[in-house]
Amino acid sequence: MNEVQFDQAYMFAYSLRDKTHAARNYIDDVRDDIKSKRLQEVINTFRNNIQIRNELNELGRLRLVLVEGLAKKQPIKNITMMSGRSDGNKRILFNTLDNGIPTLYDDNNSISNKNNNGLDILINTLDNNNNNNNTSINKGDYVIVLVTEVRGHTLRGIPLTKSTITNFAKLDLENIEPQLMTNSKPNIIENIINMNKALLNDQKNKITDENKIENVV
């Protein structure tokens, strides 16, 4: 597992299955406690590796996400979390943003022109957006998400714009180095990150205040 560095793994303790070669020819002579210990070692190895791998390869990068719908868990009140999959089949969670998001500038001439920088086009889309052309995020949409957090094999991020598979690929956005985005001028993306953090913190503080009031009452 250390050598291959799996992105996904289905891990179970061994159990005898009827009508298999093992059931017909071998005796299950390993104690359950040893099986459990070995399984936990495998799980810990996978979790450690995938955390390091995703921090290295995913954190701070742009991913095109196919929106699958609402996330199963909604950890923060009044913040709707959605779930989707990257083209690497990694699960990404992100909030929907009440005012929606724009669609990536889709002037075919600009996107097809190899002299145009993909990051510049993305920043121009965000910089020129005044919310009038925003649309809500729905199941089935393709959304460009900036990965801001890694939790094992699950990623978290901020939705920036909607896009198509073709435009995302033409602009080569998935290969943009994280430092280029944080050093861009004007630094629209960093502003969006800070606004998103402020929004989440504000909602968390409201929940804390509400809980305090309930305890007093």
Reading the chain (217 residues) residue by residue, the pLDDT tens digits are 899 988 888 999 988 888 999 889 988 889 999 999 999 999 999 999 999 999 999 988 999 999 999 888 876 666 788 999 998 899 999 987 667 888 887 555 555 555 557 888 887 787 776 656 788 899 999 999 999 899 888 999 989 889 999 989 888 888 888 777 666 555 666 666 666 666 556 555 554 544 544 444 4
- What is the pLDDT at residue 123? 79
Bridge partners, 146 (sequence order): 62, 158
Q: For strand 154-162 and strand 81-85, is the pairing parallel, antiparallel, or unpaired?
A: unpaired
- Which pLDDT belongs to residue 176? 84
Q: Which two tokens stand for residue 175?
A: 């290969």
Residue 163: per-residue pLDDT: 92
Q: Give the Cα separation of 145 and 135 in Å (integer).
A: 15
Q: Please say whether the beta carbons of 169 and 192 come within 8 A.
A: no
Q: Give the pLDDT score at 195.
A: 63
Beta bridge partners of 85: 66, 91
Structural contact between residues 96 and 80, judged by C-beta atoms closer than 8 angstroms: yes
CA angle 75–79–82, rounded 5-degree value: 80
- Burial (CB < 10 A; 0-12, 13-18, 19+), residue 15, is exposed
For tokens 């701070």, the residue is 60
The residue written with tokens 């995302």 in the block is 168
Rounded Cα distance between 143 and 160, Å, is 7
How many CA atoms does the CB half-sphere of 22 hold within 13 Å? Answer: 7
Q: What is the pLDDT of residue 31?
A: 92
Q: Are strands 91-95 and 154-162 parallel, antiparallel or unpaired?
A: parallel
